[in-house]
């Protein structure tokens, strides 16, 4: 797209060119989605826009999902100039799709893209395009509790040169796939603490949602699963950072009978999860601002961000203070953690059969109520239309 202005054009949702698929794909049934995780099926359409240093952002397109063409020397392959997001759409009680705190995903994507020096884009405009895409593909949003449409916005560097240099060209797209509950059934996860590998470190990239944080974890994930665990626990020294690709929480009984809901602080090694922030915020709100389902008003929760070490976990277990341990994330929402294999040790937490503990259950119920539009809370749930 040629431009006469001297400034490269920003992303502009009003310029969108919509080309609808002439043949629509079959949508997976709820039964198909019951097996856990995401579907392999992508929805009918995607958002696509490109950036070049002269013209800036192209007019965005919504078009049938399908392959695209890149030069082999593109920056994204050689130098991992790739950032992405994970977010979900839910069917509201009105039958219409809605998003959960999507402005947080947009802001994080902009920060992540900046970390790998990709060109900036207007996050508000991208959100408009995502809403339009979800509205067009709304028959793909499964209408059942705990089900959703997983949405992946991505931006990659497409500058084509072998020189190690900032990518002044980029491709941005949004693709979607329907998903059921992340795990086939709720059951406490078994984690394997990686002691020979670290996911993130001070001065690294752990707080950004960029491709570099994922590829190097795959072989450790495979080893953990081969040894009978569900995923890795990522440590930095003896400090807990993340559980798989989820944020880690522990609930401790205090001397005064109240409960502490603790998660590691955002020290640069931890993804600032939107579910994480929401869980902290909801725990703080109980019982004064809202009562969480199934939790007594007498149960006072104190949420806090603080470093958590493996020896502390062990000590708290010995003291009988651990109520429950769980992990949270966009894909999994909330999942109980049953044990951590750490070197020679197997650290076992209280569990509640194949169910969540009292606090995580209350938090999961409430966040699903908010996400699926049954409970209005601070504008977190945003209709697409």
Give residues in contact with its own copies (CB under 8 A): 37-38, 40, 42, 46, 65-73, 75-82, 84, 114-117, 150, 152, 154, 156-157, 161-167, 173, 175, 177, 194, 196-198, 201-205, 210-212, 214-216, 218-219, 221-222, 245
Q: How far is the CB of 243 from its own copies (least distance, A)?
A: 13
Q: Which is nearer to its own copies, 203 or 228 (CB)?
A: 203
Q: To which residue do tokens 């059921």 refer?
A: 180
Which residues neighbour 29 within 8 Å (Cβ) at sequence distance 6 or greater? none
Q: How far is the CB of 77 from its own copies (least distance, A)?
A: 5
Question: Structure tokens of 328?
Answer: 């949270």
Q: Which is nearer to its own copies, 271 or 301 (CB)?
A: 271
Q: How far is the CB of 244 from its own copies (least distance, A)?
A: 8
Q: Which is nearer to its own copies, 29 or 165 (CB)?
A: 165
Q: How far is the CB of 160 from its own copies (least distance, A)?
A: 8
Strands 17-18 and 61-64 turn out to be parallel
Q: Which is nearer to its own copies, 130 or 282 (CB)?
A: 130
Q: Which is nearer to its own copies, 64 or 146 (CB)?
A: 64
Question: Structure tokens of 32?
Answer: 């198909």
d(Cα 105, Cα 174) in Å, to the nearest integer?
Answer: 13
Helix axes 358-371, 274-285, angle to 10 degrees: 110
Q: How far is the CB of 223 from its own copies (least distance, A)?
A: 10
Whether residue 19 contacts residue 63, with contact meaning beta carbons closer than 8 Å, is answered with yes
Q: How far is the CB of 13 from its own copies (least distance, A)?
A: 19
Q: How far is the CB of 93 from its own copies (least distance, A)?
A: 27
d(Cα 213, Cα 296) in Å, to the nearest integer?
Answer: 40
* C-alpha separations of 163 from 50, 115, 121, 341, 363 in Å: 21, 19, 24, 43, 49
**76 CB-side CA count, 13 A:** 20
Q: What angle (nearest 5°) sits at the alpha carbon of residue 252, between those of residues 247 and 256?
A: 145
d(Cα 166, Cα 13) in Å, to the nearest integer?
Answer: 26
Q: Which is nearer to its own copies, 205 or 351 (CB)?
A: 205
Q: Which is nearer to its own copies, 197 or 385 (CB)?
A: 197
d(Cα 170, Cα 82) in Å, to the nearest integer?
Answer: 9
């Amino acid at each position: 797209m040629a431009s006469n202005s001297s400034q490269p054009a920003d992303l502009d949702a009003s310029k969108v060119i919509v080309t609808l698929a002439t043949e629509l794909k079959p949508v997976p049934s709820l039964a198909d989605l019951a097996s856990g995780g995401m579907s392999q099926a992508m929805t009918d359409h995607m958002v696509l826009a490109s950036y070049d240093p002269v013209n800036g952002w192209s007019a965005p397109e919504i078009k049938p999902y399908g392959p695209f063409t890149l030069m082999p020397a593109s920056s994204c392959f050689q130098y991992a100039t790739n950032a992405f997001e994970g977010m979900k759409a839910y069917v509201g009680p009105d039958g219409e799709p809605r998003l959960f705190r999507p402005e947080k995903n947009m802001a994080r994507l902009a920060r992540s893209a900046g970390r790998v020096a990709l060109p900036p884009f207007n996050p508000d405009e991208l959100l408009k395009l995502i809403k339009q895409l979800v509205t067009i593909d709304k028959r793909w949003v499964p209408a059942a509790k705990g089900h959703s449409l997983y949405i992946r916005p991505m931006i990659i560097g497409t500058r084509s040169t072998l020189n190690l240099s900032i990518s002044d060209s980029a491709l941005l797209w949004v693709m979607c796939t329907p998903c059921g509950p992340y795990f086939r059934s709720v059951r406490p996860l078994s984690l394997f603490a990686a002691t020979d590998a670290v996911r993130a470190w001070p001065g690294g990239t752990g707080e950004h949602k960029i491709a570099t944080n994922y590829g190097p974890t795959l072989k450790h994930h495979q080893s953990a699963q081969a040894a009978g665990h569900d995923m890795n626990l990522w440590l930095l020294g003896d400090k807990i950072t993340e559980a798989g690709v989820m944020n880690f929480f522990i609930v401790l009984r205090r001397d005064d009978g109240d409960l502490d809901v603790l998660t590691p602080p955002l020290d640069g090694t931890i993804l600032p999860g939107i579910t994480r922030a929401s869980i902290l915020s909801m725990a703080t709100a109980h019982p004064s601002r809202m009562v969480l389902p199934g939790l007594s008003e007498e149960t006072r929760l104190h949420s806090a961000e603080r470093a958590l070490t493996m020896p502390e976990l062990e000590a708290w277990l010995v003291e009988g203070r651990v109520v429950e341990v769980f992990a949270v994330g966009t894909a999994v929402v909330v999942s109980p953690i049953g044990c951590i294999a750490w070197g020679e040790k197997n650290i076992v937490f209280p569990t509640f059969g194949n169910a969540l503990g009292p606090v995580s259950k209350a938090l999961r119920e409430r966040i699903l109520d908010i996400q699926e539009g049954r409970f209005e809370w601070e504008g977190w749930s945003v209709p697409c239309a």
